[in-house]
Structure 1
Amino acid sequence: MIALSLSLAVLVVLFGFIFTLYLRVLKRERQLQDELINLRTSEARAQEAKSQLEGQVGKLNTQFEEQSEKNSALQSEKARLEAELQNVQTRLKEEREQLDQAQKRLQESFESLAAKALRGNSEQFIQLAQETFKREQQAATSDLEKRQTAIQTLVGPLKESLEQYQKRVSDIELARTRAYTSIEDQLKTFSELSQNLSKETSALKDALKKPHIRGRWGEVQLKNCVELAGMSEYSDVTFQDSTDGAEGNRLIPDMTVRMPGGRLVVVDCKTPIDAFLASLEAQNDDVRQAEMIRHGKHVKSHVQTLATKDYGKNIEGAADFTVMFLPNESFLYAALESEPDLVEFALQKKVLIATPPTLIGLLKVIRYGWNEEKLAENASRISKEGQELHKRICDFVDAYVNVGKHLDKAREEYDKGMSRLERRVLVQARRLEKLGAKSHKDLPPGLGELEESESRQIEAPQQEL
C-alpha cells in the first residue's frame, strides 16, 4: 500500500514536471512566434527598401548618398537580425541542454526513488514511465527542430535578399563610376569643341570685317530665305538684276520678286556689322554703348540711302516700298537699343526692315498669292475646256440623233421593199414552185406565202393611194 502511494506520488511529480515543461515550451513557442512576426516585419521593411531602391536606380548622381545611407541601415538591420537569429539559436541550444539536463536529473531522481520504493515489483511501471517520457521528449525535440527549421526558412530568404541588395548597390556604384567617367569624357570633348568654336568664331569675325565677304554672306542668307520660303521652284525671283532708272542711272538691287499682277518687290541686303562686332569685343560698358549707338546710326543711314534710291519710281512695276534685309536679327535688335524709332522712321521712308523670319513670311505670302493665281488660271482653263467639251457633246448628240433618224427612215424603206417583194415577186415564185418550175434552192420559209387573193386585196389600197 505504501509502495502504491509512493508510486502515485512519483507519477504526480513526474506529470507535474512534464506539464510545467510543456508550459515552458508553449511560452517559448509564443516568444518564437513574436520573434517570427518581428522577423517578418523586418523582412517587409527590407523588401520595401529594396523596392524603393529599384525605383530609384536611374537617379544615380542625386540619390547615391541616400542609397548609401539606406544600405548602411539595411546592413545594420541585417547584422541585428543575424545577431537576433544567433541569440535565438543560442537560447534554443541552451534550453535544449537544460531540457536534457532536467531529463537526466529527473531520470536519476526517478531511478533513485524507484530503486528505493519499488525495487522488487516496479520495473514494469518504471519502464512504462520511461517510455512515456521518451515519447514526450522526442515530440518536444521534434517540435523544437521544426520551429527552428521554420525560423531558418523565414530568415534564409531575407538573408539572400540582403545579399542581392548588397550586390545591387555594388552594381549601382560601378554604374555611377562609369557614368561619372563618361560625363568627364563628354565634358572634355565639349571643352575641346568650345575651344574650336571660339577659334572658328574669331576667324568668322575677322572674315566678316572684309566688305566683299560680308556682302557675299548677306547674299547667301538671302538665298537661304528664298529656299526656306519655297520660292526656289518659281522663276519669279531674280538676283543682281541690273536695270536703268527713270533718270538714266544704273540700279542693281540684290533681289527682285515678281508678284501676281506683274508688280515687283525690291529687296536690298545690308550688313552693318563693323560697329556691331566692335560692341561685342568691347571691354567695358561705355565703349560698348558707344559702339551700339554707332551701329544704330549705320542702320539708319542705310535706310536713308535706300529711300534716296526710290526703287518704286525708278524701276517700272516696282512696289512703292523697298525691303531692306538684315541677315541677322541681332543687327536689328542692337540698332533698336539706340534708335527705338528706327522702324517708324523706315516706314515713313517707305522702307521695310526685314530679318530672315520676316522676309520668309513675306515670301510665303507672295508664294501663296502665286498659288492662288495658278488656281485661278487653272479654274479659267477648266471653265473654257468645259465649255468646249459641252459644245462637242451637244454636236455629237445632234449627229447621233440624226443617225437614228436616218436609221429609222432606212428601216421604213426596208419594210416597204420587203412588203412589195412578198406581194409582187415571191407570190409568183411560190406559184412557179407549185407548177414545178424551181431551181435547186428553196425560198426562205415565211416569205411569199400569201395567197393571190390576199395579195390582190393588199395591192388594191396601194393602187388607190
Structure 2
Amino acid sequence: MTVDSLSLLIALVAGLAFGGLVGWLAARPALTRYRTELKTERLLHTERLKSYQGAETTLREAFASLSAQALSQNNEAFLHLAESRLREAQAETTAGIDARKKAIEDLLAPMAKTLDRVDGEIKDAERRRTQEGASLLQRVASLDAVGRELQTETRRLVDALKRPGVRGRWGELQLKRVVELAGLIEHCDFEEQHTLNGNERRIRPDVIVRLPGGKHVVVDAKVPLDAYLRAIEAPDEATRQTLLTEHARQVRTHLSQLGAKNYFTDLPGSPEFVVMFLPGEMFFSAALEQDASLIEYGVERQVIPASPTTLIALLRAVAYGWQQQAIEENARYISELGRNLFEAIRSLAGHFDDLGSRLKASLEAYNRAVGSLESNVLVKARRFKELQGTQVGEALPNLEVIDRVPRMLQAPDLTDVLPFAEVLDGEEADRRVTR
C-alpha cells in the first residue's frame, strides 16, 4: 500500500465520522420527539391492552355462559334425539328380532312337524318291530315245529317209498298231476291195469298219451329210486356218493329195460320212442351228476328220460297239436256250414226268381183282360145303357192297366247261381234297352 492510498483512506474515515456526527446532531430533536411519541403510544397501547383484556374477560365470560347454555341445550337435544333414535332403533330391532323369530319359527315349524312325525314313525316302527319280533319268534317256533313234523313226514315218505308198490303208485300220481298241469287229461288214458296184447306178449304202460291223427305216446313211471332214498339217509359223504352212483346205474339199467320193451311196436301209429318219467327234478339231476351220458344213452335206445318240467313242455306241445286239430275241425265245420248256407241261398233265389216270373205272367194276363174288357165288354155295356135310357145302377168303373213289373233279381251273387242265368242276363239287357 502506498502513502497516497493511506492518506486517502484516513481522509475518507475522517469524513465519514464527521458526517455521522453532523447527522446525529441534526436528528437529535426528531429523536426526542419520536421518543415522546413512542412513550405516548406505549401508554395508549397499555390502556388499549387493558381495555382489550377486560373485553376479553367479558367475552370469555359471555362465551363461557353461552357455551354452557348451548352445551346444555345441545346436550338436552342430543339426549332427546338419542333417546328418540334409540327408541326407533329399539323398535326396529325389536321388529326385526320378531320378524327373524317368526321367520325362524316358520322355517323350523315344518322341521318340527317332520321331527314329530319321524318320532311317531320311530315309535310305531319300534312297536311294530316288537310285535313282529314276537310274531317272528312265534313263526320260528312254528317253523321249527313244522320242520320237525316235515322231517318226520319225510322220513315216513322215504320209508313208504322204499316199498315198490307205494313208490309206483306215487310215481303214477305225480305223472297224473303233470298231465293235469299240461291240460291233457281228456287226451290221456290212466288205466292202472291197462294191458296191450302185443306180438306174443302183454305190456302194461302207465300212461298212453293220444296224439292228433290217431297216434300215441307211451309214458312209463316205474323208475327205481331205492339207491337215491338210501343216499338221503347216508351217514357220510362217501357213502352218499356211492349210493348216488348206484342210483345213476339203476336209471341206466331201467333205460335199457324200457328200450328193450319196444312199446311203440304194439301201438299202431306211435312214434318210435317211449318216455321214462322221473317223478322229481332231484332224481333226474342226481343221476345226471353221476352219469352225464344218460340222455344220449336213452335216445340211442329210443327212450326219452323226462323230469316233470320237461314232460310238461312235451305235453304242452301235444296240447298245442290238439288245439290245432280242433281249429282245423272247426274250420272244416264252418266251411261245410258255409256251403250249406250257399246252397240254401241258391235255392231261395230260385224260388224268388220263379215267383217274379209268375207275378210278371199274372200282370201280363191282368193287362190283357183289362184291354179285352175295355175294348169289347165295356163298349157294349155302355151302348146298352144308352139304349135303355134309364138308370140301371152305378156307372161302370174304369179299370187301369198296371204298367209296373216285378223287380227281378239283379245281384250277381244271386243271378249267377240261378239256372238259365245267361238267358236271364239277356232278358235283363233287352229290358234295359227298351226302357
2:361 maps to what in 1?
A: 409
Q: Is the 8 A contact 1:280 1:288 kept in 2?
A: yes
Change (3 A) 1:438 1:353: farther
1:215 maps to what in 2?
A: 168
Residue 198 of structure 2 aligns to which amino acid in structure 1? A
Q: How does 1:69-218 map to 2 (within 5 A)?
A: 131-156=80-105, 167=116, 170-195=119-144, 196-210=146-160, 211=163, 212-218=165-171
Q: How does 1:194-273 map to 2 (within 5 A)?
A: 194-195=143-144, 196-210=146-160, 211=163, 212-232=165-185, 234-240=186-192, 242-273=194-225
The CA distance in 2 between the partners of 1:187 and 1:206, in whole Å, is 29
Q: Is the 8 A contact 2:188 2:207 kept in 1?
A: no
Residue 264 of structure 1 aligns to which amino acid in structure 2? H
The CA distance in 2 between the partners of 1:355 and 1:288, in whole Å, is 22
Q: Secondary structure at the match of 1:194?
A: helix
Q: Is the 8 A contact 2:210 2:216 kept in 1?
A: yes
The CA distance in 2 between the partners of 1:446 and 1:157, in whole Å, is 106
Deviation sequence 1:347-388 (CA, Å, 0-9, x none): 111111111111111111111111211222222233233233
Aligned residues: 338
Once the two structures are overlaid, the 10-residue window that deviates more, 310-319 or 355-364, is: 310-319
2:246 maps to what in 1?
A: 294
Q: In the alignment, is residue 340 of structure 1 matched against residue 323 of structure 2? A: no
Q: Secondary structure at the match of 1:256?
A: strand
Change (3 A) 1:207 1:404: same
CA RMSD between the two structures: 3.1
2:63 maps to what in 1?
A: 5
- Could you tell me how far 1:292 is from its partner in structure 2? 0.8
Once the two structures are overlaid, the 10-residue window that deviates more, 334-343 or 307-316, is: 307-316
The CA distance in 2 between the partners of 1:160 and 1:372, in whole Å, is 70
Change (3 A) 1:270 1:396: same
Residue 184 of structure 1 aligns to which amino acid in structure 2? G
1:397 maps to what in 2?
A: 349
The CA distance in 2 between the partners of 1:217 and 1:307, in whole Å, is 23
The CA distance in 1 between the partners of 2:240 and 2:381, in whole Å, is 128
Q: Is the 8 A contact 2:279 2:307 kept in 1?
A: yes
Deviation sequence 1:420-451 (CA, Å, 0-9, x none): 11111111111122223553332103679xxx
Q: Is the 8 A contact 1:266 1:319 kept in 2?
A: no
Residue 214 of structure 1 aligns to which amino acid in structure 2? R
The CA distance in 1 between the partners of 2:97 and 2:214, in whole Å, is 102
Q: Is the 8 A contact 1:245 1:315 kept in 2?
A: no
Residue 188 of structure 1 aligns to which amino acid in structure 2? L
Q: Secondary structure at the match of 2:178?
A: helix
Residue 255 of structure 2 aligns to which amino acid in structure 1? V
- Could you tell me how far 1:155 is from its partner in structure 2? 5.0
- Could you tell me how far 1:7 is from its partner in structure 2? 6.0
Residue 374 of structure 1 aligns to which amino acid in structure 2? A
Gaps of 5+ in 1: 15-113, 115-123, 449-465
Q: Is the 8 A contact 2:193 2:204 kept in 1?
A: yes
Change (3 A) 1:321 1:446: closer
- Could you tell me how far 1:312 is from its partner in structure 2? 1.0
The CA distance in 2 between the partners of 1:412 and 1:168, in whole Å, is 101
Residue 401 of structure 1 aligns to which amino acid in structure 2? D
The CA distance in 1 between the partners of 2:295 and 2:102, in whole Å, is 84
The CA distance in 2 between the partners of 1:354 and 1:305, in whole Å, is 16
Residue 152 of structure 2 aligns to which amino acid in structure 1? S
Once the two structures are overlaid, the 10-residue window that deviates more, 267-276 or 290-299, is: 267-276
Q: Secondary structure at the match of 1:264?
A: strand
Once the two structures are overlaid, the 10-residue window that deviates more, 137-146 or 251-260, is: 137-146
- Could you tell me how far 1:407 is from its partner in structure 2? 2.1
Q: Is the 8 A contact 1:426 1:447 kept in 2?
A: no
- Could you tell me how far 1:191 is from its partner in structure 2? 2.0
The CA distance in 2 between the partners of 1:399 and 1:366, in whole Å, is 49
Q: Is the 8 A contact 1:432 1:438 kept in 2?
A: no
Residue 268 of structure 1 aligns to which amino acid in structure 2? D
Identity %: 31
Q: Is the 8 A contact 1:238 1:257 kept in 2?
A: no
**Which of 311, 320, 328 is the matching residue for 1:368?**
320
1:277 maps to what in 2?
A: 229
The CA distance in 2 between the partners of 1:179 and 1:285, in whole Å, is 44
Change (3 A) 1:7 1:218: farther
Deviation sequence 1:235-268 (CA, Å, 0-9, x none): 4444435123324433221111111111111111
1:111 maps to what in 2?
A: none
Q: Secondary structure at the match of 2:338?
A: helix
Q: Is the 8 A contact 1:242 1:250 kept in 2?
A: no
Deviation sequence 1:73-120 (CA, Å, 0-9, x none): xxxxxxxxxxxxxxxxxxxxxxxxxxxxxxxxxxxxxxxxx6xxxxxx
Q: Secondary structure at the match of 1:440?
A: coil
